[in-house]
Amino acid sequence: MASVARLFGTDGVRGLANADLTAELALDLSVAAAHVLSDIGLFAGHRPTAIVGRDTRVSGEFLEAAVVAGLASAGVDVRRVGVIPTPGVAFLVDEEDADIGVVLSASHNPMPDNGIKFFARGGRKLDDALEEAIERRMGEPWERPTGAHVGRIVDDANGLDSYLTHLVSSIPNRLDGLSVVVDCANGAASFISPEALIRAGATVTAISAEPDGLNINDGCGSTHIARLQNEVRALGADLGIAHDGDADRCLAVDAGGNIVDGDAILAILAISMKASERLVRNTVVATVMSNLGFHNAMYAQGIQVVTTTVGDRYVLDAMREQGLNLGGEQSGHIIISDYARTGDGVLTALQLMSVMRSSGQSLSQLASVVKVLPQVLVNVPDVDKSRLDESRQIALVVASVEAELGGQGRVLLRPSGTEPLIRVMVEAKTLGLAQASAARIAEAVREHLS
């Protein structure tokens, strides 16, 4: 990974643990992060502190040790909070007035991968300029603190409960009478999501909630939702909730086993917040991946949509710049800035169920407001994604497909920010047309970028 032009992707630094993402790299990154954040004045002359958490991957154990060692060697006091959702670290950084947050997680990626995510003061993700500054400072000579100036390391047993209390307090009504199946992906949600929903009054059945360090995202969670669909139908539950490995995502399943994606969840929350006059300027932020059906639903409800590139931090940037309080992605990253600084899957589940309980409507009734256009997403691996913008041949194929779709569909072609592949997304008036169009573009990508 160190040979790649830019270490940071759309959500931190990721790679195959102990091959691309090594203990040495983790240590160097944490030292550089401490230096950069100190230099720009975030520490304001006081002894810096950091909150460090991780998901359940076995590699998180040695990577956490490397990060903690790097921070402490740079004079940062570290509070280790153990297994906790990514948004839990963001919350604790803000709540405890810490200077740095670090999460060891590769989110929805397979178990062998891992990643490092940083937060600055206030629990905010780093912008591109700060990430680039960290990369430039890696490996440079520096004056190491000694004696009493090195950082201290403590285990924080109270952080998780503080986060739980915050989550449950975010909803205005209890969830008594609602039954839910929660797929925890054998990840960071395994304890906290069922516990939060139980405390809020719901009847909870947890699945994939027995992490062993090796089974995170293994046939479960938000990227493998079939088991959750079956469990919801078998148990007659009101809904199902699916998280990813670090629990910053939330997808849902209605009582009939139908998937309710991030677009529908975002629409449900936006309409509810508008009705209660809590949606700032009646505007919501979404990404270019959001279905046209979502945009049509928001227009019909008198809600404006601001569109950003893919990545929840870009949604966050737009929300901050325009002072908005709701945004999200089709993938289930939903940001409710009244209560969180980043996408929070457990918070989203609570808010969604709160709307169900207060409205008396089922999830399928609430989600029906979004009439989804057929959408096909094709991942094209093993290609040189850096040359995508240079290929005239691919551009001609895309232009031809767009002309065929007319105003009743669209094409989105982009390199993944977290994986070595190119994503082809097509929406069309029929599934067959979307599939054929996506296959045509994917073949052009393979032919010209392999």
Kindly list the catalytic residues.
Answer: 107
Q: CA–CA separation, 273 vs 285, rounded Å?
A: 14
β-sheet bridge partners, residue 259: 253
Q: CA–CA separation, 89 vs 86, rounded Å?
A: 5
Residue from 233, 227, 218, 170 nearest 197 by CA: 170
Residue from 410, 415, 340 nearest 385 by CA: 415
Contact at 8 Å (CB) between 228 and 240? yes
β-sheet bridge partners, residue 52: 80, 102
Q: CA–CA separation, 335 vs 293, rounded Å?
A: 20
Indicate the helix (H) or strand (E) that contains 70. helix 59-73
Three-class DSSP category at 72? helix
Question: How much is the CA Rg of the chain, to the nearest whole Å?
Answer: 22
For helices 345-359 and 189-199, the axis angle rounded to 10 degrees is 30
Pairing between β-strand 179-183 and β-strand 203-207 as defined by DSSP bridges: parallel
Q: CA–CA separation, 299 vs 139, rounded Å?
A: 51
Q: Which residues of 420-436 are buried (b: 16+ CB within 10 A; e: fewer)?
A: ebbbbbbbbeeeebbeb
DSSP state of 282: G
Spatial CB neighbours of 17, under 8 Å, sequence gap ≥ 6:
57, 59, 63, 112, 113, 114
Residue 110 φ/ψ, nearest 5 degrees: -60, 160
